[in-house]
Copies of this chain bind each other. A is one copy, B any other.
Amino acid sequence: MSTRDCALCRRVAETGDQWIADFAMTRAYLHEDQFFPGYCLLILKRHATELFHLDPDERAAMIEEVSRLARALDTVFRPVKVNYELLGNQIPHIHWHVIPRLADDPLPRWPVWRVDHEPLHLPTEGCRERVAAIRAAL
Residues of A within 8 A of B (CB): 49-52, 54, 56, 59-60, 62-64, 66-68, 70-71, 74, 81-90, 92, 101, 108-111, 113-114
Kindly list chain B residues whose C-beta atoms are within 8 Å of the C-beta of A113: 110-111, 113-114
CB distance from A124 to the nearest CB of B (A): 30
Contacts of A52 in B (CB 8 A): 67-68, 70-71, 74
Q: Min CB distance, A96 to chain B, in Å? A: 9
Interface class of chain A by DSSP: mixed
Per the bound structure, the CA–CA distance linking A114 and B92 in Å amounts to: 19
Partner of A63, one of B50, B51, B110: B51
Tell me the nearest residue of chain B to A49, going by C-beta: B81
| A-B pairs with beta carbons under 8 Å apart, 28 shown | A49-B81, A50-B82, A51-B66, A51-B82, A51-B84, A52-B71, A52-B74, A54-B67, A56-B60, A56-B64, A59-B63, A59-B64, A59-B67, A60-B60, A60-B64, A62-B63, A81-B87, A81-B88, A83-B87, A83-B89, A84-B87, A85-B85, A89-B108, A89-B109, A89-B111, A111-B111, A113-B114, A114-B114
